[in-house]
Amino acid sequence: MFFCGSWKRRRKGDALAKLIVIGAGAAGMMAAGQAASAGLDVLLLEKMSRPGNKIRISGKGRCNLTNASPLHDFISHFNREGRFLHQPFSYFFVDELMKFFTELGLPLVRERGDRIFPASGRAGDVVETLQQWLDSVGVELRHQAIVEQIRTGQGNVTGVRCNGETLPCTRIILAAGGASYPVTGSSGDGFRLAASVGHTVAALRPALVPLVVDDPTVRAMAGLDLKNVGLRIYIDGKRRASDFGEVGFTRFGIGGPIILTHSRMIVDALRTTKEVTVSLDLKPALDETKLDNRLQRDLHARRDESIESVLRGLLPREMVATCLNYCAVDARKSARLINGRERMRLRRLLKDFRIDITGHRPLAEAIVTAGGIPPAEINPRTMESTRVKGLYLCGELLDIDGDTGGYNLQAAFSTGWLAGRSAAAA
């Protein structure tokens, strides 16, 4: 275990107060570096053996830093509390983040959906760039430093208890992350620390998480990815959302970008015992009439083949047997013998492939955490707590979660930037 020890000042004669930042993720590293750049003596405490573990696995190891969509569209990709981000984004948004990294020598590229990645395609390069920047501005980074307590007195922060020792300070930025992917260090410590000094914590639950399906025929298609499919979501029989994009089948159910995007709503519905059904339109480019005409042409042109063979021209091989089973059609049946009712059942299934959702994967497997510190308890102009003076909160601790596509990392960087600058100006 790393011994926190006494905090030796890096700048002799500097009269500025000390700042402790808890958590060396995206928000914490940005906050620490901005505060140090503004002249504060900063100590950054990280419980893991290295910083930025969650950044390293983001974007499938490529790190989707942000998204270049306009502000109004960007904020629409968050839950209803996303309006809180107007203030942090007014100070530090997409253009500023991209300029920040490119000026540090990290080239960026824009990809499909306006997603921004490091040109190298390596998330580790983002972390390395941040580490070099922190070192250049004089941030002291300590690893395996477990913060057990935030100390306060007369409504102000006074220090932290770290690895059994008290480290005094007059300002603290709490950026300890959420509770998803605990192996990266985001194990919910920040929520406990915030609650201990008077903050409320909205129920923690997974967001951007794959869904569970009990139907073995669906799970048998594990490994199959469908691109360009339509999605409709029904909750207690009422259509609640629709989308278009990619869906993937897993050994426990379904996932993929558009499933993850709507998973928070589905998780909340399941928590209140509502029935959730997902409908996939496997042929969204064709309406019912055009699809029926296509089926008739294929059945006639290939009338001497089995229906199983004919459907391989319309569906991925892995789906053919499942679809025929659902439609109660013998896979070996000759295409010439398919009657009107069977064709109708096939057509309906291709336009409305229904899957009953029975659960979701645990919070530990979610990309982000839903729930957390209510934004109402944080000053949006400074990120300072309204409960404890000198305490700033940022990143995934906040009850603000967004879609996949770079939105959550931008929120972490922006709230971290504002917290660091505000702590330095206090």
Helix (H, G, I), strand (E, B) or coil at 344: helix
Rounded mean pLDDT, 201-222: 95
- Beta strands in 309-413, from DSSP E residues, in sequence order: 353-357, 359-360, 368-372, 391-393
Between CA 78 and CA 284 the distance in angstroms is 27
Q: Has residue 220 got a pLDDT over 60?
A: yes
Domain ranges of the chain: 18-205+370-425, 210-360
Asked whether the beta carbons of 399 and 370 are under 8 A apart, the reply is: yes
User: For the chain, what is the mean pLDDT?
Assistant: 94
Q: Has residue 5 got a pLDDT over 90?
A: no
Alpha carbon distances (Å) from 148 to 45, 51, 161, 171, 231 = 12, 19, 5, 17, 45
pLDDT score for 232: 98
Name the CATH superfamily housing domain 18-205+370-425: FAD/NAD(P)-binding domain (3.50.50.60)
13-42: pLDDT as tens digits: 343 459 999 999 999 999 999 999 999 999
Q: Which residue has the tokens 């089948």?
A: 249
Verdict on whether the full-model pTM lies above 0.95: no
Between CA 279 and CA 241 the distance in angstroms is 11
Better-scored residue on pLDDT, 206 or 16: 206
Rounded mean pLDDT, 92-111: 98
Between CA 408 and CA 260 the distance in angstroms is 13
255-264: pLDDT as tens digits: 999 999 999 9
Between CA 72 and CA 83 the distance in angstroms is 10
